Amino acid sequence: MNLKELLNHDLVETKVDVEDWEDAVRAVGKLMVRSGAVEKRYIDGMIRTAKELGPYIVVAPGIALPHSRPEDGVKRTCMAFITLKKPVEFGNEINDPVDLVVAFGAVDKKQHIEALRDLATILGDKKNVQSLREAKNTEELLKIMWSQEAK
């Protein structure tokens, strides 16, 4: 499943106002719960995993990738993306603060690979990252996220 198939209007939000990193994870997790792709407890799973393993989920400057194990309540492969109104600290000295949060739920080690690959291609381009930060609404955001051609 590629990025275009996973991300739609209901799974993205721009300029979300949050107080701290847990708030940010809850905000993006809420979108996945609402879509029916994960159970509510998956949000707790993402927060718990981030606490257990440290802020390694901040995988690049300003970008966090919260996720947890399939058995923490993933019903189907999914992804959600929010940009934050103001950046928050996740505790990662090198890559903080974060203002782009991409959460995902995997059911195995394979189904979400294409989407991750698309994500890597899009977020690997600094121009895209800047445009995403500046996106004023979900249309602008999706335009960039969907810009990878379907393979």
Four-point Cα dihedral 88, 36, 135, 51, nearest 10: 20
Which of 117, 140, 144, 147 touches another protein (CB under 8 A)? 117
Is residue 131 close enough to count as binding another protein by CB under 8 A? Answer: no
Q: Looking at 67, 70, 118, 135, which residue is catalytic? A: 67
- CB nearer another protein, residue 19 or residue 151: 151
CA–CA separation, 117 vs 112, rounded Å?
Answer: 9
Active site residue 67: yes
Is residue 65 close enough to count as binding another protein by CB under 8 A? Answer: yes
- CB nearer another protein, residue 90 or residue 138: 90
Terminal CA-CA length for the chain:
10
**Minimum distance from CB of 66 to another protein (Å)?**
9
**Minimum distance from CB of 107 to another protein (Å)?**
10
Tokens standing for residue 112: 């979400």
What are the start-end ranges of the E strands in the chain? 12-16, 58-60, 63-64, 78-88, 98-105
Which of the stretches 7-15, 20-28, 112-120, 134-142 binds another protein when contact is defined by CB under 8 A?
112-120
In the block, residue with structure tokens 């602008």: 140
What are the start-end ranges of the E strands in 12-147? 12-16, 58-60, 63-64, 78-88, 98-105
Which of the stretches 15-23, 80-88, 104-112, 132-140 binds another protein when contact is defined by CB under 8 A?
104-112
Which of the stretches 15-23, 24-32, 33-41, 115-123 binds another protein when contact is defined by CB under 8 A?
115-123
Active site residues: 67
